């Protein structure tokens, strides 16, 4: 295995003050559900009066460099930032070779032959040393070689005399400060970082009669910033925060995530309004590791009342077929209200619904849907799938196109093969013109300027029917 050795000459002396996480550091992390977060760190630093410099290496690799802010909480007026830099020229073997072109290096091969000389060129296949010296074994004599070509796969050790200027091992923030008051300062660093996101995940378990469900909500945090936040005060902000986005290359982030589920008592999460958004605060410190997906329970509501809703509508109302069979959507409706055990702002996320099989007591998955940010006292509708035993049919029975109007008629029937009666909402959308008039014997409700709803009560093993005619007035 190839080994690269570097003799660091007085490297510790290059940095008067270094910031690294310790017991006196406070970490606060606010995660937004738009794939970014706000990081705030507070720590004691020993600053020298006059010009003092600080290196901070515990920084996210996805940092927004223009958002960095540093200040002394001890003496904010007397501590002035002269320069702020972000160093991200990270060390690698290729960069080391590039920095040492035209300079002397030494290397050993797996055959026991050693070389030293000026690095003339390199690539993934071989190294070229100019004015080199070659030695076989520790006791062998050194002989001059004008040009030595060494295969990279034969090299087991490369030695550089020092770390080239400008190369660092981790992304680093650097400040040059003018300090009026020397000594220990309580200092704060804050910045925005991309690559961290959160969303809500909900699990709902339907009761046997399908009239209530147990709902549990989880906060899911996905950290891909390149940094770990230890014992952080964790907050999650739900809402659509406006940001000015710059075009940037898409990074491939398809990496395997690990799951960190706390086995201890579940932490409480406090929710409150904040500006025009909602803020969720975890009431105990949480460590969010890099490349980790963490889940924290934030709500639990037993026996939330629900109603099953069957909905039938044409798949392409703007392109009617002479006759088409339609599947019936199955939806669950519930209200985010306090008397149902909820009544908090529900962040957007996926709701997975299960029902227990009475035969063996096992849970079975019956569908899932995505909800948006939902304030309290609002109604939610979950689309779970298609009904197996309820079938719809829609047929155009008449159509007329004159100079002044369109007129068309439809017959719709719904066949219920279940053992119990069902109530089915039939939605019809009128797309040909804005001005229309409906003629039908069945009662209906106007939903919007183009949609009406018929409600059919269909007994078991029976058929419900709708007939209507709609006339569109053409503009003259």
Range of the structural domain that residue 272 is part of: 196-305
Residues 106 and 63 in one domain: no
Residues 298 and 266 in one domain: yes
Long-range contacts of 76-81 (CB under 8 A, 24+ apart): 78/179, 78/180, 78/181, 79/47, 79/177, 79/178, 79/179, 79/180, 79/181, 79/185, 80/177, 80/178, 81/175, 81/176, 81/177
Residue at 226 is within a domain: yes
How many domains would you assign to the chain?
A: 4
Residue at 296 is within a domain: yes
Q: In 266-340, where do the E strands start and end?
A: 269-274, 277-282, 286-288, 292-305, 307-313, 323-335
Predicted local confidence at residue 306, as pLDDT: 96
Q: Which of 293, 288, 182, 197 is nearest to 237 (CA)?
A: 197
Residues 398 and 324 in one domain: yes
Predicted local confidence at residue 38, as pLDDT: 95
Contacts of 242 (CB under 8 A, 6+ apart): none
Residue at 366 is within a domain: no
Could you give the CA distance from residue 467 to residue 194 in angstroms, rounded to a whole number? 56
Host H or E run for residue 93: helix 93-99
Q: What are the mean pLDDT values of the chain's consecutive 10-residue runs (476 residues total)? A: 41 41 80 93 92 84 88 93 77 76 90 90 88 81 88 87 66 87 93 93 94 94 93 88 60 33 48 81 90 91 95 79 88 95 91 91 94 94 96 93 91 96 95 88 93 96 96 82
Task: Tell me the CB-side half-sphere exposure of residue 286, using CA atoms within 13 A.
Answer: 32
Residues 209 and 255 in one domain: yes
Predicted local confidence at residue 165, as pLDDT: 66
Residues 156 and 210 in one domain: no
Predicted local confidence at residue 260, as pLDDT: 35
Q: In 48-125, where do the E strands start and end?
A: 50-56, 69-72, 79-87, 104-109, 113-122
Residues 185 and 57 in one domain: yes
Could you give the CA distance from residue 36 to residue 27 in angstroms, rounded to a whole number? 16
Predicted local confidence at residue 166, as pLDDT: 57
pLDDT, tens only, 16-52: 455 445 557 899 999 998 899 999 999 999 999 999 8
CA angle 308, 314, 317 (to 5 degrees): 145
pLDDT, tens only, 138-183: 667 788 889 999 998 888 888 887 766 655 566 778 889 999 999 9
Residues 84 and 57 in one domain: yes
Could you give the CA distance from residue 198 to residue 213 in angstroms, rounded to a whole number? 25
Burial class (CB in 10 A: 0-12, 13-18, 19+), 175: buried
Residues 398 and 298 in one domain: no
Predicted local confidence at residue 268, as pLDDT: 62
Predicted local confidence at residue 428, as pLDDT: 94
Residues 290 and 405 in one domain: no
Residue at 372 is within a domain: no
Residue at 421 is within a domain: yes
Predicted local confidence at residue 35, as pLDDT: 92
Residue at 358 is within a domain: no
Could you give the CA distance from residue 38 to residue 207 in angstroms, rounded to a whole number? 41
Residues 318 and 454 in one domain: yes
Q: Order across the sheet with 349-356: list the strands.
A: 258-261, 292-305, 212-223, 196-206, 349-356, 363-371
Residues 44 and 103 in one domain: no
Predicted local confidence at residue 264, as pLDDT: 35
* DSSP secondary structure string for all residues of 342-402: --SPBPSEEEEEEEE-TTT--EEEEEEEEE--B-TT-EEEEEEEEEEEEEEEEEEEEEEE-
CA distances from 199 to 218, 283, 293, 448 (A): 8, 18, 11, 32
Could you give the CA distance from residue 307 to residue 401 in angstroms, rounded to a whole number? 42
The CATH number linked to 133 is: 2.30.30.100
Q: CB 388: neighbour CB atoms within 10 A?
A: 11
Q: How many residues does the chain have?
A: 476
Residues 73 and 181 in one domain: yes
The CATH number linked to 441 is: 2.60.40
Among the candidates 269, 289, 305, a domain finishes at: 305
Residue at 380 is within a domain: no
pTM (whole model) above 0.85: no
Could you give the CA distance from residue 210 to residue 381 in angstroms, rounded to a whole number? 15
């Amino acid at each position: 295995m190839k080994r690269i050795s570097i003799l660091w000459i007085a490297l510790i002396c290059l940095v008067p003050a270094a910031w690294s996480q310790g017991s006196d550091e406070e970490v606060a992390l606010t995660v937004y559900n738009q794939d970014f977060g706000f990081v705030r760190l507070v720590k004691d630093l020993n600053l020298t009066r006059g010009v003092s410099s600080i290196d901070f290496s515990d920084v996210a690799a996805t940092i927004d460099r223009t958002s960095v802010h540093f200040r002394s909480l001890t003496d904010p007026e007397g501590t002035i930032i002269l320069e702020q830099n972000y160093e991200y020229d990270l060390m690698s073997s290729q960069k080391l070779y590039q920095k040492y072109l035209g300079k002397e290096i030494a290397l050993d091969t797996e055959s026991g032959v050693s070389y030293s000389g000026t690095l003339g060129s390199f690539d993934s296949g071989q190294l070229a040393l100019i004015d080199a010296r070659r030695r076989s074994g520790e006791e062998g004599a050194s002989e001059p070689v004008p040009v030595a070509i060494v295969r990279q796969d034969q090299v087991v050790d490369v030695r550089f005399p020092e770390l080239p200027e400008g190369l660092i091992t981790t992304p680093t923030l650097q400040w040059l400060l003018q300090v009026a008051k020397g000594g220990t300062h309580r200092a704060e660093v804050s910045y925005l970082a991309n690559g961290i996101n959160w969303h809500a995940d909900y699990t709902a378990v339907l009761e046997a009669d399908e009239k209530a469900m147990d709902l549990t909500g989880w906060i899911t945090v996905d950290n891909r910033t390149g940094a770990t936040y230890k014992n952080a005060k964790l907050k999650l902000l739900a809402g659509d925060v406006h940001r000015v986005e710059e075009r940037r290359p898409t990074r491939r982030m398809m990496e395997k995530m690990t799951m960190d589920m706390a086995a201890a008592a579940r932490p409480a999460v406090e929710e409150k309004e904040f500006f025009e958004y909602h803020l969720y605060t975890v009431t105990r410190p949480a460590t969010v590791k890099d490349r980790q997906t963490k889940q924290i329970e934030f709500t639990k509501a037993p026996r939330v009342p629900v109603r099953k809703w069957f909905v039938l509508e044409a798949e392409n109302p703007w392109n009617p077929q002479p006759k088409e069979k339609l599947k019936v959507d199955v939806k669950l409706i519930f209200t985010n209200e306090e008397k149902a055990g909820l009544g908090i702002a529900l962040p957007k996320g996926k709701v997975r619904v299960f029902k227990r099989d009475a035969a063996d007591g096992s849970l079975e998955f019956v569908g899932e849907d995505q909800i948006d940010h939902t304030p309290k006292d609002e109604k939610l509708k979950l689309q779970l799938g298609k009904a197996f035993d309820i079938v719809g049919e829609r047929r155009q029975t008449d159509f007329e196109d004159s100079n002044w109007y369109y007129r068309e008629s439809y017959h719709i029937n719904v066949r219920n093969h279940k053992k119990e009666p069902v109530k089915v909402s039939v939605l019809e959308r009128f797309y040909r013109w804005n001005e229309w008039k409906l003629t039908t014997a069945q009662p209906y409700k106007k939903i919007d300027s183009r949609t009406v709803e018929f409600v059919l009560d269909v007994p078991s093993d029976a058929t419900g029917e709708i007939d209507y005619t709609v006339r569109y007035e053409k503009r003259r």
